[in-house]
Structure 1
Amino acid sequence: MKKFLPLLLLLISSIFIFSCKDDDDDVQVQVDYPAVYDLNVNFKFNDTDGWFYDQAFNNPLLDQDYVLIFRQAGTENGAVVWQQIPRTLYLDQGELDYDFDFSKNDFLIYAGGTYDISTTPQYLNNQRFRVVLVPAVFGKNANTEDIKKMSYEEVISKYNIDDSKVGTL
């Protein structure tokens, strides 16, 4: 009987150990995307960032989520033409670059060039951008280099994003 008691205790304790459930695996995070947001941007200037526009997200993104930003380059037959940034415009004055970076809390859009871009305020004021938030679940097997080459319409289609409900940040 003395040998049986320790085995019985071991069996009972192992049932409790293996039957416990780790609730951390069941955490569901509520996100507001995939989503599309419109921005009407007037760039600001400072000595650190140059010409920039910064904006916080309504809710933090997950670490693996991805942000794409498109600039309205014009219209064609009444439809808006979107160009993904980074983008270089070749103007008579020189080259003008739009670029951006993002974190899970915010993003910055930059404008810079090979000339004094303050002399072309039409490229710094009233610029329309479209921000597309793509959740990590869509991009987990995607190559970000492929995403960076997609048009706005391709991104909307690939990730089944309803861009009829464009929001504002």
Structure 2
Amino acid sequence: MKKYLPILLLAFVSLFIFSCNDDDNVVRDGDTYSKMRDVSGSFTNSNGYSFTVPISIENTDVVLVYRRDPAASNAWQLIPKTYFLSGGRELDYNALFDSQNVEIYTEANFDQTTMSSSEVSQYLTNQTFRVVLVPASPAKGVSAVDTSDYNAVVKYYNLDESKIKTIKVN
């Protein structure tokens, strides 16, 4: 019996060693993990005020989309975002995503073809968005990062802005 005691003790300890996993905060590298890309394009009547960006992520991963603030070149605003124009008009930036595509689009409570040339220039022409693909765990119930703060997301996921790929649509 004395010979079996060390083996049983070793088996018992190894059970706990292999059953513990502390990878909740690991940012994974590879094709489907944290990365960013810039997308620029114009929203027009001919493209239905939307464009699609191809991606490849897991079903549990998350896509965050930020719009570059034209007034400040290094400021990013998380979308969805509503802009209140004159005359009670509202222009919304939105995004939809699945595991293969991100659609970025505008919606309005008015006909967007009636926008003034300065509004078109400010809100529809040559818009730049940053698409951030981040890993998510279905077991996580609460986000550990404030996704509305672009800089907090970059820091939390240790994203390298110098490696951003830019995609030009339309």
TM-score by length of 2: 0.67
User: What is the RMSD of the two structures over their aligned residues, measured on CA atoms?
Assistant: 2.6
1:148 and 1:98 map into 2 onto residues whose CA distance is 20
Q: Does 1:92 align with 2:86?
A: yes
Q: Which has the higher strand share?
A: 1
CA distance 1:113–1:53, change in 2 (3 Å): same
Which has the greater radius of gyration? 1
Aligned pairs for 1:59-74 (under 5 A) are: 60-74=56-70
Please state whether the residue corresponding to 2:140 is helix, strand or coil: coil
2:64 and 2:127 map into 1 onto residues whose CA distance is 16
Q: Does 1:54 align with 2:52?
A: yes
1:91 Cα deviation (Å)?
Answer: 1.4
Q: What is the aligned-residue identity percentage?
A: 32
CA distance 1:157–1:135, change in 2 (3 Å): same
Letter in 2 for 1:104: S
1:129 and 1:99 map into 2 onto residues whose CA distance is 11
Paired positions, count: 133
1:82-128 CA-to-partner distances (Å, cap 9, x unmatched) read 10000001111511100111000001011011222222422122001
CA contact (8 A) 2:36 2:164 kept: yes
For structure 1, the residue ranges without an aligned partner over 5 or more in a row are: 1-28
2:156 maps to what in 1?
158
Q: Does 1:115 align with 2:119?
A: no
1:18-53 CA-to-partner distances (Å, cap 9, x unmatched) read xxxxxxxxxxx952531110111212446xx94211
For structure 2, the residue ranges without an aligned partner over 5 or more in a row are: 1-28
